[in-house]
Structure 1
Amino acid sequence: MGRLTTLAAVAASLSAAAAQTFQRLGACPDLGCVLPPDQSDFLPGQYFDLRLEVHAPVNGSEAFNGGVPDDKFSVTIAKEGGEAKGVAEFFAIDEPKLETWDFKWYEDLFAQDAGTPSVVNVASRIYRKIALYEPGNYAVTLTYYDGQTTTANWVVRPLATKKKAKNVILFIGDGMTTNMITAARLLGHKSINGKYQSLLQMDQFPILGHQMTHSIDSFITDSANSASALYTGHKSTVNAMGVYVDSSPNFFDDPKVETLVEILKRTWDSAWGAVSTAAISDATPIALTGHSRSRYAYGSLVDQGLNSVTNYSWTNHGGPDVWFGGGAEQFNPGSGSYEGKDYYEAFANAGYDISLNKTSLLELGNSSKALGIFCQSHFPVWLDRNVFTDNLNTFKNDPHGTTSPALDLPGLKEMTLKAIDILHTRGGDKGFFLMSEGASIDKQMHALDYDRALGDLLELDDTVRATVAHLKAIGELESTLILVTADHGHGFDVYGGVDTQYLSSKPSDREKRRAVGTYEMSGLSQYTVPVDGVSYGTGPNFPVNWDPRYTLAQGFSANPDRRENFKVHKSPRKVVSSTPGFAKSDMFVDAKDSPDGFVVNGTLSVTESSGVHSLTDVAVFAMGPCQEMFSGVYGNVDVFYKMASCLGLARPDGKTPADPESGCGSKH
């Protein structure tokens, strides 16, 4: 009786602490953990792992059972209306061996300040590469500590075996919100008396929906687990992709879930690719094939992109047919590549044509697989590649690994159109999937460099416009579902106008703020008006004037201290820096940033050097087969299930059109 009373008290304390800063294990509020956890969804036939953990805290408020975990725990699974069976029996697999480890965590900020972590001992088992094929509701029940239970209720989504779209192109504007889209429209499209004379391409899509972006254990997501939700239909934890985060010390042994391209490859043997203006090892592109709790394991994740999951028997996705982006440091053995390997050579040996600049990209044939790595780290942004081009010479980002600048750079449009040509050829009647990311919308919003962010958003829309035209030209528009969405948002908005000349002329912050006009004093956009008859000449749908006197009053809801003058920054922005005499983690307004502006007090911890993501829902624009599925408001995981349904990936058994003899796991 005493043990049960103690357990009830522990459960109550865990419930009360669920919204606190620190969590023992995000998807596990009890001392018994089932991963995938309660409320998980599955595609019929999708491979996944089942991890069970029993925790025994040694100290802290949860201290229990002398720190000895129950290693005699049991687990059952039952389909609604059916008999509960042991997991090994249900899936007709061997019982896995018991694993044990310990981990530490801080219960709150006071414990962190005091340096007094709580220690937890763990007993665990993991069932690898299993699948559920019959739609319906399932209950997985873990029993431990003399009758304590943790139950995970799962849903297997409906079957969808018919391919309704031959191809799917998923555009992701990283961090892109409706407010940013509105601001970008104002910059790039002329209006007369409140009516736009032209529109963004995404404005013209027939279907608009919204997705909610929460992660599994936080309202605010990052790019890794939000991309993972879009690609797997399973929510995860910040920094994780393709896995449910367990408490083990190994970054790569966490329970995995199969991604869209892995399922698409084994089901239809379709072609697939990824294009990004970030490093190809960055979260959004690499999550298509990555399975790790750490998005920062870049080298190993690149290896997974070529060779499938490291040290693990999993679906072989065959490697991308197209991989275009940055991140050359992960391919050069002298730059810290995974295990010192030359990944240019590894991809070449696997049959890839290699391109390291725009010139060679445009010369690639369409029949072979292609790897294009055009710079180290992330691409210089559209504004620097097209307007402030002298900035390119300040980069030391040559894809060969030297300290020279990469000057022969393609844009998102060139990479995407070339990727479509290759995938169209290689996919043939089997079709293709392409993810194309405008990455620095997010990266520049983090830096509070709004003009650079909005420039990349306009580049994304220009790419979408060119894609629609190109698909029509090659006869694939009617057979291709095109989606434009984001992985998460930022708390950005425009709230008025600014007379930058007046602002710069005033000596004090309070006087400078009089330059900000609201409502009838906010004025109109001058971005589409040439200065003295001269424009930047970057083409239609982009501003002709990036530095007007009367500009936008724009800002963030979650930001460090900064100084604002609202002008375009002609070199990349750095809003804060460390100060002599203070800890390096203490951030102060950078004296070189907007020196004629006024100070805006931050809303974040003084240790934060950039803006952060926000709670906001993000838009989903849809055009083509299945477009009607994407209207309304839904979770980010639903984007995966809608794409999977449109591609006919939900299989009723282990057999697939591509591999009629394949099969794994229970047919329940």
Structure 2
Amino acid sequence: MKLNLTAMAVAAALSAGTTLVAQAASPDSFSAPASDRNTWYTNGNNTVTAIAARKDNIAQAKNVILFIGDGMGVSTVTAARILAGQQPNIIGSNSSTTPSSGEENSLSFELFPNLALSKTYSVNQQTSDSAPTMTAMVTGVKSNDGFLSVDQNLVRPTGSTDFASCNQDIANHKLTTILEIAEQAGKSTGIVSTARITHATPAANYAHTPERNWEADSNQPTGCATPDIARQLIEFNVGDGIEVALGGGREYFRPNTLLDPEDTTKLGRRKDGRDLTAEWTTKYGAGSHFIWNKADFDAIDPNTSTHLLGLFERSHMEYEADRLTDTAGEPSLAEMTEKSINILKNNSKGFYLQVEAGRIDHGHHAGNAYRALTDAIALSDAVKKAVDTLAAAGKLDETLIIVSADHSHVFTIAGYPQRGNNILGKVIEPGVGTYAKASDNNPYTTLSYANGLGYHTGVKGDDVYSTAVQIGRFANMSAVDTTDADFHQEAMVPLASGETHAGEDVAIYATGPGSRLFKGTLEQNVIFHVMNRKMTKK
């Protein structure tokens, strides 16, 4: 039943063509598949039979891939699963073309055989940021908020002039990362992110610093003894160096006297005069490449490329919903994952790869569920691409694949919508076919946030930070297309700084050798110990 399909919305949908943007004014509900008591009973019994027939893979893991959906809490997984089932071509890369009600759908990693919960608190906070949570996953040790792969006994800087904190004894507080362990074992390593490659989640693999925001030297006090994060990537000297680094953050690697190759009126951020992108190819020589656009990415031969640095945006990469409109073009998360595996698998000793869907988190902070969820679907596509690529190479059974999140968000699925209700839409009452009404006699959406910037329309993604905070029941939603890519959901508590992380447990999905160790509710740092045991211990 289409209750909100206006002529203007239809025109917008037609003009959108094949771009990966909102399917404007999509139906308010989708047909649920036929089912009865026998169907439910048979399907349940078949599931148990399949689980009982599984055999654990107890071999060592030659390869490890750690996928992180930044901010991908359980409610995000649920909503993304439903959205992908209801609108299977919403980001253009899913193979199905027949929409369903969505509730019975599964994202690729939800089909993995082993599952646990991860407790995400840090040493000093109940609700954490990405720095200590990723530190826990890649070092096996919990630490303080803002810290990247250093222990809790350092002091986080109080500001850009805190010179004393900038010159702490980092060497004696470093935590060895799983990437460093893999390099020491002679394996190849890679990091991939749709965020800046210097951002907390990817940086925790290779950088050691008490301040996650020291991404370039211009973010530090002058004369700081601790190298900035971009510099630590280029100067990384464990093993034969990181083989693959793909993501955003180009301006953090280039001097403030050099114009950007894509945004040609913008300069880099570095004040030390160094062009770290040039230093990458100088350091690694023949077989090394620095790339910044889709054409150069496509031209990379994984059989001859030994060290690949790809920085596709000055800051974060585009949201998946906006990727095809990028000026220079950007590879998808699935494409970056595939290319990385095809380079890393050339090492007979194996590899470690960490892949982050970093912009799930940013969509939530902006209160924009559409972009957060479509980036979660893009992560599902990347996981599927990894499985398919490994299977084709005969390496799936020797690879431990883990999918998890660093933390959750205050993102809710609420009301009592009928089955098949558009997850991006307004709540339709079961058996009635009309919108459910709040106590103010206006309809409300299934998705909302407990805090943040609140209701906005027509504001693209992160641009909402420049608009006024609009909290609570701010508008009558009756004539609003809540399925539009630029719709920002209502929120309850006003926060001009944007929506916050949440403190509940997140899921761990795993398959391959060692995945059986993920059971029950675990401390987040256990993820490292499983990877370390299965990848390096005999």
Is residue 261–residue 317 contact of structure 1 (8 Å, CA) maintained in 2? no
Q: Kindly provide the CA deviation profile for residues 475-515 of structure 1, in whole angstroms up to 9, marking residues without a partner as x.
A: 1101101111101111212114899xxxxxxxxxxxxxx96
Unaligned runs of 5+ in 2: 1-57, 87-97, 156-163, 217-227, 257-267, 419-424, 436-442, 481-487
Report SS of the residue matched to 1:471. Answer: helix
SS in 2 for 1:455: helix
Cα contact 2:448–2:489 (8 A) shared by 1: no
For 2:77 and 2:313, locate their aligned partners in 1 and report how far apart those are by CA, in whole Å: 28
Question: Separation in 1 of the partners of 2:379 and 2:274?
Answer: 33
**Corresponding residue number in structure 2 for 1:359:** 295
- The counterpart of 1:422, out of the listed 327, 343, 364, is 343
1:340-361 alpha-carbon deviations (Å, 9 max, x no partner): 2011110010122122112211
Q: Distance in 2 between matches of 1:328 and 1:483?
A: 28
Distance 1:622 1:375 in 2: 31
What corresponds to 2:322 in structure 1?
384
Matches of 1:384 and 1:317, distance apart in 2: 37
**Within 5 Å, which residues of 2 pair with 1:471-510?**
471-496=390-415
Once the 2 structures are TM-superposed, how far is the Cα of residue 416 of structure 1 from its aligned partner?
Answer: 0.7
Say whether the 8 Å CA contact 2:369–2:489 is kept in structure 1.
no
CA distance in 2, matches of 1:522, 1:497: 12
Q: Output the TM-score relative to the length of structure 2.
A: 0.70
Alpha-carbon distance change, 330 to 193 in structure 1, aligned in 2, over 3 angstroms: closer
| 2:165 maps to amino acid | P
**1:467 counterpart (372, 386, 407):** 386
Letter in 1 for 2:412: D
**2: CA distance between counterparts of 1:306 and 1:432?**
19
SS in 2 for 1:214: coil
Does residue 250 in structure 1 map to residue 160 in structure 2?
Answer: no
In the alignment, structure 1 residue 167 sits paired with structure 2 residue 63: yes
Conserved? CA contact 1:251–1:294, under 8 Å:
no
Corresponding residue number in structure 2 for 1:240: 147
Residue of 277, 282, 285 corresponding to 1:349? 282
Alpha-carbon distance in structure 2 between the residues aligned to 1:578 and 1:188: 30
Q: Of residues 203, 223, 229 in structure 2, which corresponds to 1:301?
A: 229
Distance 1:487 1:518 in 2: 35
The structural deviation recorded for 1:570 is 7.0
Alignment equivalent of 1:332, drawn from 220, 239, 254: 254
Whose relative contact order is higher, 1 or 2, with alpha carbons under 8 Å and at least 6 apart? 2
Measured in 1, the distance between the counterparts of 2:426 and 2:106 equals 29
Q: Per the alignment, do residues 558 and 197 of structure 1 end up closer, same or farther by CA in structure 2, a change over 3 Å counting?
A: closer
- In structure 1, the partner of 2:136 is 229
Give SS of 1:603's match.
Answer: strand
Who is 2:455 aligned against? 563
Distance 1:519 1:297, change over 3 A: farther
- Measured after TM superposition, the shift of residue 252 of structure 1 is 5.2
Aligned to 2:196: 279
Distance 2:322 2:444 in 1: 20
* 3-state DSSP of counterpart to 1:340: coil
Aligned to 1:440: 359
Aligned amino acid, residue 463 of structure 1: A
CA pair 576-249 structure 1, distance change in 2 beyond 3 A: closer
5+ long unaligned stretches in structure 1: 1-161, 309-314, 393-405, 500-513, 525-549, 580-586, 651-668
Deviation at 1:203, TM superposition (A): 1.7
* Alpha-carbon distance, 1:178 to partner: 1.2
Residue type matched to 2:231 in 1? Answer: D
8 Å CA contact retained: 1:491, 1:616 = no
- Are the counterparts in 1 of residues 448 and 491 from structure 2 also a CA contact under 8 Å? no
Are the structure 2 counterparts of residues 353 and 517 from structure 1 closer, same or farther at C-alpha, using a change threshold of 3 Å?
Answer: same
Query: Counterparts of 1:377 and 1:305 in 2: how far apart (Å)?
Result: 16
CA contact (8 A) 1:263 1:649 kept: no
1:373 counterpart = 2:311: yes
> Aligned equivalents of 1:306 and 1:649: distance in 2?
29
Query: Does the 8 Å CA contact 2:396/2:512 hold for their aligned counterparts?
Result: yes
d(CA) in 2 for partners of 1:194 and 1:578? 34
* Structure 1 counterpart SS, 2:138: helix
Residue type of the partner of 1:339? D
Distance change (3 Å), C-alpha of 1:487 and 1:553: same
Counterpart Cα distance in 2 of 1:345 and 1:469: 34
Summarize deviations over 1:214-267 as a string: whole Å, max 9, x none.
00011111011111111111111111111124245226534221111112222x
Give the match for residue 22 of structure 2: none
1:326: Cα distance to partner? 0.7
State the TM-score, normalizing by the size of structure 1: 0.57
The amino acid that maps onto 2:109 is: M
| C-alpha displacement of 1:365 | 2.4
Secondary structure of the residue aligned to 1:171 is strand
> Is the 1:280–1:325 contact (alpha carbons within 8 Å) kept by the matching residues of 2?
yes
**Would the alpha carbon gap of residues 306 and 360 (structure 1) be closer, same or farther in structure 2, given more than 3 Å must change?**
same
Could you tell me how far 1:552 is from its partner in structure 2?
Answer: 5.0
2:159: which partner in 1? Answer: none
CA offset at residue 558 of structure 1?
3.1
Deviations 1:169-222 (A, max 9, x none): 111000001111111111111499978565311121111111000000111110
Q: Does 1:603 align with 2:499?
A: no
Q: Report which of the two structures shows the higher radius of gyration computed on alpha carbons.
A: 1
How far is 1:563 from its partner? Answer: 2.2
Query: What does 1:304-319 align with in structure 2 at a 5 Å threshold?
Result: 304-308=232-236, 316-319=238-241
- State the match for 1:619 in structure 2: 507
Letter in 2 for 1:557: A
The percent identity for this pair of structures is 30
Say how many residue pairs are matched: 410
AA partner of residue 336 (structure 1):
R
SS in 2 for 1:350: helix
Aligned mate of 1:321, from 243, 250, 260: 243
Structure 1 SS opposite 2:345: helix
Q: Distance in 2 between the 1:639 and 1:470 partners?
A: 24
Tell me which amino acid in the other structure corresponds to 2:126. Answer: F
The one-letter code sitting in structure 1 at the alignment partner of 2:84 is G
* Aligned alpha-carbon RMSD (Å): 3.2
Q: Hey, what's the Cα distance between the residues in 2 that align with 1:594 and 1:458?
A: 30
Asked if 1:413 is matched to 2:413, the reply is no
Report how far residue 364 of structure 1 moved: 1.3
Q: Is the contact made by 1:328 and 1:376 (CA closer than 8 Å) also made in structure 2?
A: yes
TM-superposed deviation, 1:603: 2.2
Q: Aligned partners of 2:489 and 2:445: how far apart in 1? A: 17
Q: Distance in 1 between matches of 2:375 and 2:318?
A: 10
Counterparts of 1:599 and 1:193, CA distance in 2 = 24
More moved, 320-329 vs 363-372? 363-372
Q: 1:576 to 1:377 in 2, by over 3 A?
A: closer
